[in-house]
Amino acid sequence: MVALVIAEHDNASLKGSTHHTVTAAAQCGGEVHVLVAGSNAAAAAAQAAQIAGVTKVLVADAPHFADGLAENVAEQVLALAAPYSHILAPATAYGKNILPRVAAKLDVAQISEITKVDAPDTFERPIYAGNAIAYVQSSDKVKVITVRTTGFDAAAATGGSAATETVSAVADSGKSAFVSREVAKSDRPELTAAKIIVSGGRGIGSAENFKVLEPLADKLGAAMGASRAAVDAGFVPNDWQVGQTGKIVAPSLYIAVGISGAIQHLAGMKDSKTIVAINKDPEAPIFSVADYGIVGDLFEVVPELIKELG
């Protein structure tokens, strides 16, 4: 068996999600190959070759891969798919855009957001907002899989010495074209990669009040997140949203401030190593998953916490 991992990257470097996906691929058994489809992506390919456990890196370099358009990357995957027993990508917007196209063209069922590999043909994935685990056994010749990165440790970024092979790039499909990209710039860590996250909910009350969390995040070097209720209320941007319909995170420390703990939010953060909840409602569901809970007014508790941090 040989598994192919679709690398998520920006041409200059790999995204952390790729390392987690390599771990899942290795657990499927057999060799692990990584496909880097990009434009002038030699630096990303070099990083892929150093990942522990990777035996070969395939590089498809062409201008129409520069922006990771799913239609083009999917065609490249299909051109290389024949020898592979497993094709995996991270369950990010990137992977979720590519692999359904691959699965449809291969006429197989995609297995989405796995959190564990039980056997080469059997996988676990959360359902019902994480309240149950489904065991999925596939008889398809090729397993097409997206990987929930919080379920797997990241493969070591160094220690590998994989061979790099240049493959023929498929032609531009012409089905889509890159128009523009608006990237939110922040001095804070990326939400899905952050070790510490300070997250606020509807209990914060307003966009202005969210500023009370900023000194706490600054003290801890943390990323800032939010519940869907806070995002829907317009307090913060969409890319801060943590939860089933937002970003799935599992930091070392997650501080939930003014978040009641709706099931959809818990699905996105309950795998965090340590959870601290601050809420004035002692019956709030967030306390059911919290390691430490503080019942009190967040506008009093947070400044006191900042003060104690010095």
Known binding-site residues equal: 202, 227-228, 241-245, 258-265, 279
Annotated binding-site residues for FAD read 202, 227-228, 241-245, 258-265, 279
- In SS3 terms, 69-110 reads as CHHHHHHHHHHHCCCCCEEEEECCHHHHHHHHHHHHHHCCCE
What crossing angle do the helices spanning 93-106 and 16-27 adopt, rounded to 10°? 40
Q: Which position has the token pair 């996105």?
A: 268
Query: Token pair for residue 113?
Result: 């957001």
Number of residues written out for the chain: 310
Q: Which position has the token pair 């509807």?
A: 202
CA distances to 56, 217, 269, 272 from 188, rounded to whole Å, are 34, 9, 19, 19
DSSP 63: G
CA distance 237 to 184: 9
CA distance 148 to 267: 12
Cα–Cα–Cα angle for 203, 296, 239, nearest 5°? 30
